[in-house]
Structure 1
Amino acid sequence: MTDLTTTTLPRRSFLRTVATLGAAAAAVGVPTALAAESTRRSASTPFARPASPDDALQRLIDGNARFVAGKPQAPHRDFARLREVEPKQAPFAAFLGCADSRVPIEIIFDQGFGDCFPVRVAGNIVSPEVIASLEFGCAVLGAQTLVVLGHSKCGAVKATLEGGAVPGQISTLYQHIQPAVDDSHGDLDTAIANNVRNQASLLRKSSPVLAGMIKSGTLRIVGAVYDLA
């Protein structure tokens, strides 16, 4: 059964879990600067692949905790690891994230080459192309956890909330985000959380492939918000 929940966490939370499909989720603290290069872990001492979706999510939580503490190990980021994954990729986690330059997924979760399969688009919105990409990452490549990752001060959500004139085709994003804005009472943080929840739910409803993986216990979809500060 799919469980869609809302969790309110303190402002100091780095990841505020807003929706989880198929399981409960967790949260950790605020980001700090990266640690010295000496903390890096090479491909010669790799992290083993997670054994389950729960383990995969825990791997992300643990990595974020290292980043938060300023003690990242920066695993799997050397040329030996790149050569290892060059013939075939097998990421353990997939992401639907915003295109924002302040949300570098592999850095904030302390992962490296071949660990994550990020799909990024302004507003972390679902489209046929996004669904196809995530189906590939999960059903074909084997990602066990899919995180729909929004973030504070999201420009796409803010633009939708304000509804002003924007250049080019930026306004085409609005239709995907508007339902979240409509239920926000004009509050940006609420709209951002609503949008993550809506997109996570839409992924399951729009993809029998992903829904089937959730039902079989081979995939966990979690929605979360990344606080920039």
Structure 2
Amino acid sequence: MTTSPRTSPSTPPTAPAVSRRRAVLTLTAAASLAAGVPAARATTLTSPTPSPSGRTRAEKPPTAARALAELRAGNARFAALRQLHPHEDAARRAAVAVSQHPFALILGCVDSRVPPELVFDQGLGDLLAIRSAGQVLDEAVLGSIQFGVTELGVPLVVVLGHERCGAATAAVEFVRTGKPAEGHLARLVEEIAPAARETRALPGDWVENTVRANVARIRRRLARDEAFDRALIVGARFDLDTGKVAFHPS
């Protein structure tokens, strides 16, 4: 009686096995394409994949320190033009459609060159972004921050100013000339003007000094408000030329 030779671990799979595997992949890809998912991603949607920090899609940084580290890492990728564009696939979209768990809140300027999700290389559901010219506060902005901190449990609030801010430039011009801005712009200028007056006699670029002082004033105001006691509040500045964000805890 002749025995069949054993198949070694390195022996290629038989033709039926290959056919079965191809059939499974074909069906998976077809189903994913029907749902609007690229075929190249179809085989990765059945299990959570880690983000650049090692957390899965279902997780978020549990502390303000971890959240800050996540933002630093994402911005380093952005500045180096090595973005990963995480959390943009169909599985993530489905997950955040039913609930959201952002790990940081960014209070930034409306400037088109400073979109938080791009600046920090984050994706769907990662950041709660609130934007107003010059980060100016009003009741709508404050209420939005409170919603993020108390209702969504966001542990970190970042007040993000930026280089060559137009709102800060207008405030400096107002303080320099005394000529008020027109219409609704007057409110923005008046809110930033204290930072412009505070830095008028300082050496260096007046607008740049105003940007930094304005961020510090807003951060202090938020830190004094008991509505935000649960969160760490930090200031930051985005450099338009380098793409880098510098964080300032106080």
User: TM-score scaled by structure 1?
Assistant: 0.75
* Superposition pairs of residues 15-54 of structure 1, within 5 angstroms: 44-47=48-51, 48=55, 49-54=60-65
- Contiguous gaps of at least 5 residues in structure 1: 1-37, 214-218
Which residues in structure 2 correspond to 1:143-222 (within 5 Å)?
143-163=154-174, 164=179, 166-185=181-200, 187-205=206-224, 207-211=225-229, 213=230, 219-222=231-234
> Secondary structure of 2:133's partner?
coil
Shift of 1:165: 5.3
Q: Which amino acid aligns with 1:65?
A: A
Moved more, 80-89 or 178-187: 178-187
Aligned position for 1:13? none
Residue 123 (structure 2) aligns with: 112
1:124 to 2:143 alignment: no
1:93-108 → structure 2 map (5 Å cutoff): 93-108=104-119
**Partner letter of residue 86 of structure 1?**
A
Q: Kindly indicate whether the alpha-carbon contact (under 8 Å) linking 1:126 and 1:202 is maintained by their aligned counterparts in 2.
A: no
2:91 aligned with 1:91, yes or no?
A: no
Q: Distance in 2 between matches of 1:184 and 1:127?
A: 23
Q: Which of these residues, 113, 133, 144, is aligned with residue 144 of structure 2?
A: 133
Q: Scaled by the length of structure 2, what TM-score is found?
A: 0.69
Taking only the aligned residue pairs, the percentage that are identical comes to 38
1-side partners of 2:153 and 2:193: how far apart? 32
Structure 1's 69 and 132: CA in aligned 2 closer, same or farther, altered over 3 A?
same
Does the CA contact (< 8 Å) of 2:181 and 2:189 recur in 1?
A: no
Distance in 2 (alpha carbons) for counterparts of 1:53 and 1:77: 24
Q: Which residue is equivalent to 1:33?
A: none
CA distance in 2, matches of 1:159, 1:143: 32
The alpha-carbon deviation at position 166 of structure 1 amounts to: 4.0
CA offset digits 1:23-56 (Å, max 9, x no partner): xxxxxxxxxxxxxxx9xxx874243211211000
AA partner of residue 227 (structure 2): V
User: SS of 1:123's equivalent?
Assistant: helix
RCO higher in structure (CA 8 A, sep ≥6): 1
Contact conserved, 1:75 with 1:110, CA < 8 A, in 2? yes
Residue pair 2:107, 2:129 contacting (<8 A) in 1 also: yes
Q: Is the 8 A contact 1:53 1:145 kept in 2?
A: yes
